[in-house]
Structure 1
Amino acid sequence: MSPSARCLLIHPIGGMFSISRCCEAPVSLVRSIPRLATVGLVATAACAYDARMPSQPTEPAAAARGPQFASVATRGGTAASHRHIVSFKGSVPADFAAQVAALGGKVLWVSPGSGLAAVRGLQGSAAAKLAGKQGIQAVEADALLALDVPRLAMDATAEGGGVASNAAPAAAVRYSRQWNMRAVQADVAWSHGFLGSDAVSIFMLDSGIDYLHADLLGRVDLTRSVDLLDTLYVPVVNANGDTVIVRFVEADTVRHYFPDRLPFTDLFFHGTHTAATVSSNAARTAGVTSRTKLVAVKVCAYINDCPFSSILNGVIYAADNGADVINLSVGGAFTKAGNGRFVGLINKVFNYARSKGVTTVVSAGNEGIDLDHNGNTYQTFCDTPAVICVAATGPTTDATGLTIASGPWTDVDAPAFYTNFGRSAIDVAAPGGNGSFGPDLSPPASRDVFVWAACSQTSLYLHEVFGFFCNPINIVGARGTSMSAPHVAGTAALLVSILGRNPSQIKARIQQTADNVAGNGTTPFYGKGRLNVARAIGAIP
């Protein structure tokens, strides 16, 4: 991109988070290119720092942007979401709900298996009083995470229709755009009959799923899918410029705008995109698998607030309801100092899932941070031992750019400029989309390369950005480590049918069979290498 085309704006998300973005074009459809509408939304890291160039100065510490937790039992913190997470010394006290109610609160959920619970409505000293009750180990203030909102592109055409091709995913109408599936040799796995199994379930902890999109129709288990957000209290700026706390219930928004939809439909876009990357009917775009069962676990609201308590509850819910694999393309960072208990909570929950045979795949994050040298910060959820942490790769240019986005592409396995990295954290890398900086290329070539997948028909966010609602066959292009993690989650689902529900073996197989695109051993941007689906499942040596 040319320097003159870049600018900086602040885009508010849900009132609480203001995210700096670079913009290369007005936030509108690109009318001069009828087949592809593109909007300029790029995370701050893309503007200020290219992770692949260590000579550049790094960004401010991640902790400055991440959620801040505090143990109310010792420091009297206030929960940003009006919620608290409770851990027990042993079994859950029989009168726990009554104790919470007597202090003016309400129990949101209790997990005897993990020894945790979440409550809301504790005001003033109530949380500290609860922490002093018999059988209570600690009461932690909850916090809100946010999904990274990547640069997006829209394919709003209906050309070619959309007929399911589960048995031959490469027949998807827009498969020509899917450099990502060819990069990891998913197409070779399909040709050998590895399409996934309806008996294997991947729980998508995200913003929900549009279960009526052509690529997802019949792929989502509507019985086990669930909205775990409950009531949120979020700060917004009113007409007078004052910040006030308002009550928000996403399920009410679904009922208001989409009364015929179930509560876990996707009002954002993120969950639908990641889900269709894992498993798709291949009507418009292919997924890594085409027969794996998806379960929507809504832990992020379309206002881009993801309560930490909902995420932990989602992991527990998945473990208790038959998940084989969890995909969690959300995270952040917080300071380790003073938050040792919270680190313990995270490890406890993810270890609980692993003990139940669940493989958990997480995204590395898009801040361009060296996780080997991130000081006093804890990166959720890559610093959690019981996960597979995935960095992002992708081409630096697309010769057909904003026309048909079908290549040829340059340097398909290049580290993404935004990806977090570090030998101690990254387990494997996978396609997430990419870009490059420099002079404008001759049209139609572009420096922006996306991962394409299903567009949620119920996305209020995309309606605001693009000015229309997607139809059942529209797809959207996005980039980020959120997009790379589902490639690994889909591969893990294939391996469940081969290795069984064994997280350690599945992780080892994925790492051992990855392509050493940056040399042998463990490397900062690739971990053990770039994912190879076909080799992982034994389709090729």
Structure 2
Amino acid sequence: MKKSYLLFSIVFLLLNSCDKSDFIEEVANSEEDVIAAKSTASNKSFMVVSKSETLSKELLSSVKKYGEIIRTIPEIGILVVKPSNANFENEVANLDDVKSVIPDLTVDWIEPVDVDPFANPISIGSDEPYFFYQWGMDAIDAPEAWNVGYQGENAKVFILDSGIDAEHPDLASNLNTELSASFVEGEDWNIQPGFYFNHGTHVAGIIAAADNSFGVIGVAPKSEIVAVKVLSEFTGSGPFSGINAGIVYAANNGADVINMSLGTTLNKDGKFYDEEGNLTAKIPSKYIQEIIYAQQRAIDYAFKKGVTIITSAGNSGMNGDGNGSTIVLPADLNNVISVSATAPLNWALDTSTNLDELASYSNYGNSLVDLAAPGGDFDSPYSFYYYDMVLSTISNGWSWSAGTSMASPHVAGVAALIIGKNGGEMNPHEVEKKLFETADKIDKNNSAYYGYGRVNAFKAVTE
């Protein structure tokens, strides 16, 4: 039976049910990360980080005496272990080739902000292409890049996120199902069927929704995408080891680009707070430094394998400059391109309005932001504020959403266009250089809001 696909915007990350009536109800969703990550599994398992960035047989044999090895990442010298005794940490930390033993924290990497729905449904029609509403494509001159023959052929983008709807008609033709994989226990990379907002599916559509006269179109509509599930589709959370393993998996399986529309902000003193600012947990500050070190190992491994890594700058409205007490992961790491979000204000009233305002929620800072791209916003006082957001694919349909999570895939798509133009292989240093040199200088060359500028697809493939 053929599925019915509708254009639908939603207020929650997940919907329990949906009435697919003759009209199109429109409400909105935006996503925001929390300033301090919340630990939900600090004592269930540990990451064991070797000194040598390899895993010797001797080390494996020794660690097995103290617990069950549940994951190995030999390329970067990391084990994930479930301890079998209370002295696990001290015993393993004293082994010759062990650099550190760290709680494998599970934290929130994506978090929605609820927006009130309104009761003015409009009828668009489920079979009408929605390109008109994709102001972000115009902002980065994507159609001009397509028109000169560049659509991302031969480029492979791995999407580290909360899974993808494998049957979505805008995504299925570009999705490599054989390489797609899950690093989330108990969850398949192909999300559960149903009509709801899925973060990874929305991101995938921005990158590579097909040019098929149906629905929306992605920045690189002929690029190949691979789903690497590292976050639960139900909670948006995941352990650090899963992120690290997903990065290495992508690098080992031919990724040209990794998109990580995810992030968490850690306090370097090891304190964790809830959304009301109440202290919920504290770990030794040395753990935070070792968590940073382990993730940088994974990033560096992929970068050396020729992967361009794009990530979101975060949605806390935070100035990343001069804030030495926190770190945004992975955006603050070396060898990643961190992206802030831009948006129009009241686009529905005037489609010629400025599309490059910094989004109200976007993190910024010269030390944090490398590039800017369309991420959408929800700051308009009018009921049609959702048109200022980014329209893309969700499970069984399409939806508006906003966040630096939507900005990052715009840059990943342009990176795919650049790599595709160069035959499918390109050094990430060269990709980065091209992205930076061809970005539109919205402010100054390296501003706190826009980095080197707002990405420009047409210039990236013609200059």
TM more than 0.5: yes
1:120 is aligned to 82
**What SS class does the counterpart of residue 353 from structure 1 fall into?**
helix
Once the two structures are superposed, residues 371-408 of structure 1 have per-residue CA deviations (whole angstroms, 9 ceiling, x without a partner) of 003231111112111000000001111326xxxxxx62
SS at match of 1:105: strand
Structure 2 equivalent of residue 512 of structure 1: 437
Cα–Cα, structure 1 residues 44 and 505, in superposed 2: closer, same or farther, change >3 Å? closer
Identify the match of residue 489 of structure 1 among 390, 403, 412. Answer: 412
Q: Does 1:524 align with 2:448?
A: yes
Distance 2:158 2:302 in 1: 12
1:107 aligns with 2:107: no
Corresponding residue for 1:51?
A: none
Percent identical pairs in the alignment equals 30
CA distance in 2, matches of 1:41, 1:488: 19
Q: Distance in 1 between matches of 2:81 and 2:124?
A: 46
| Matches of 1:531 and 1:331, distance apart in 2 | 21
Distance in 2, Cα, partners of 1:517 & 1:290: 26
Residues 219/158 of structure 1: CA separation in 2 closer, same or farther (3 Å cut): farther
- Please list, as runs of the form range in 1=range in 2, the aligned pairs for 1:355-504 lying within 5 A after superposition: 355-399=304-348, 408=351, 410-436=353-379, 440-441=381-382, 445-446=384-385, 449-456=388-395, 470=396, 474-499=397-422, 500-504=425-429
Provide the residue aligned with 1:250 in structure 2.
Answer: 187
Q: Which amino acid aligns with 1:354?
A: F
Residue 504 of structure 1: CA displacement? 1.0
Q: Which moved more, 1:329-338 or 1:147-156?
A: 147-156
Which residue does the alignment assign to 1:306?
A: 238
User: Contact (CA 8 Å) 1:297, 1:314: kept in 2 or not?
Assistant: yes
Give TM-score, length-normalised by structure 1: 0.72
| Match for residue 174 of structure 1 among 122, 130, 145 | 130
Aligned length: 426
Distance change in 2, residues 1:33/1:66 (3 Å)? farther
Distance 1:296 1:201 in 2: 11
Aligned to 1:323, the other structure's residue is in SS state coil
- The whole-number CA distance in structure 1 between the counterparts of 2:196 and 2:113 is 16
Match of residue 464 from structure 1: none
Distance 1:326 1:149 in 2: 23
RMSD (CA atoms): 3.3
Cα gap change, 1:40 to 1:341, in 2 (>3 Å) = closer
* Partner in structure 2 of residue 18 of structure 1: none
1:178 positional shift = 0.3
In the TM superposition, what is the alpha-carbon distance from 1:126 to its structure 2 partner? 1.5
The structure 1 residue matched to 2:55, chosen from 81, 92, 101, is 92
Q: Which residue of 2 aligns with 1:166?
A: none
**Residue 201 of structure 1 contacts residue 324 of structure 1 at CA under 8 Å; is this kept in 2?**
yes
Return the letter of the residue paired with 2:343.
Answer: G
Verify the 8 A CA contact 1:391 1:420 in the aligned structure 2: yes
What is aligned with 2:259? 327
Conserved 8 A contact 1:43-1:151: no
Cα distance in 1 between the residues matched to 2:421 and 2:19: 46
Q: Deviations over 1:151-187 (max 9, x none)?
A: 678999782527xxxxxxxxxx000100000000001
Match of 2:199 among 261, 266, 270: 270
Contact 1:207 1:268 in 2 (8 A): no
Q: Distance in 2 between matches of 1:389 and 1:305?
A: 20
Distance 1:394 1:329, change over 3 A: same
Deviation at 1:122, TM superposition (A): 5.0
Q: Is contact 1:450-1:478 (8 Å) kept?
A: yes
Distance 2:220 2:242 in 1: 27
Per the TM alignment, residue 143 of structure 1 is displaced from its structure 2 partner at its CA by 1.3
SS in 2 for 1:38: coil
Runs (5+) with no aligned partner, structure 1: 1-10, 15-26, 46-61, 69-77, 163-172, 231-248, 259-264, 401-406, 457-469
Instruction: Give 2:127's aligned residue.
Output: 161
Q: 2:96 aligns with which of 120, 124, 134?
A: 134
- Inter-partner Cα distance in structure 2 for 1:455 and 1:267: 7
Q: Determine the C-alpha separation between the residues in 2 that align with 1:132 and 1:495.
A: 47
**1:107 is matched by which residue type in structure 2?**
I
Residue of structure 1 in register with 2:107 after alignment: 145
- SS of equivalent to 2:136: helix
Q: Distance in 1 between matches of 2:114 and 2:150?
A: 32
Counterpart amino acid of residue 47 in structure 2: I
Q: How far apart in 1 are the matches of 2:242 and 2:46?
A: 11
Q: For residue 87 of structure 1, what is the amino acid of its counterpart? A: V
Using the TM superposition, give the Cα deviation of residue 324 of structure 1 relative to its aligned residue in structure 2, in angstroms. 0.6
Change beyond 3 A, Cα 1:150–1:279: farther
Correspondence 1:222-261 to 2 at 5 A? 222-230=177-185, 249-251=186-188
User: Alpha carbons of 1:174 and 1:121: their partners in 2 closer, same or farther (altered >3 Å)?
Assistant: farther
In 1, Cα distance between equivalents of 2:21 and 2:188:
38
Give, in whole Å, the separation in 1 of the partners of 2:43 and 2:408: 27
Residue 285 of structure 1: SS of its match in structure 2? coil
User: What does residue 238 of structure 1 align with?
Assistant: none
Separation (CA, whole Å) in 2 of partners of 1:30 and 1:212: 20
Letter of the structure 2 residue corresponding to residue 408 of structure 1: T
Corresponding residue number in structure 2 for 1:57: none
**1:44 Cα deviation after fit:** 8.3
What residue identity is the alignment partner of 2:312?
S
Alpha-carbon distance between aligned partners in 2 of 1:28 and 1:226, rounded to the nearest angstrom:
27
Contact 1:432/1:450 (8 A) holds in 2: yes
Report the alpha carbon displacement of residue 124 of structure 1 after superposing the two structures with TM: 2.6
Question: C-alpha separation between the residues in 2 aligned to 1:228 and 1:195?
Answer: 30
Name stretches of at least 5 consecutive residues in structure 2 with no aligned partner.
1-10, 270-284
Distance 1:535 1:270 in 2: 29
Counterpart pick for 2:218 among 287, 305, 321 = 287
1:226, 1:297 within 8 Å by CA — same for their partners in 2?
yes
Report the CA distance shift for 1:121/1:284 in structure 2 as closer, same or farther (over 3 A).
farther
CA distance in 2 between counterparts of 1:486 and 1:44 reads 17
Distance 2:388 2:313 in 1: 19
Could you report, residue by residue, the CA deviation over 1:60-111 in whole angstroms, capped at 9, with x for unpaired residues?
Answer: xx3xx2256xxxxxxxxx9526222121123423144444443232331232
Answer yes or no: is the 8 Å Cα contact 1:29–1:39 preserved in 2.
Answer: no
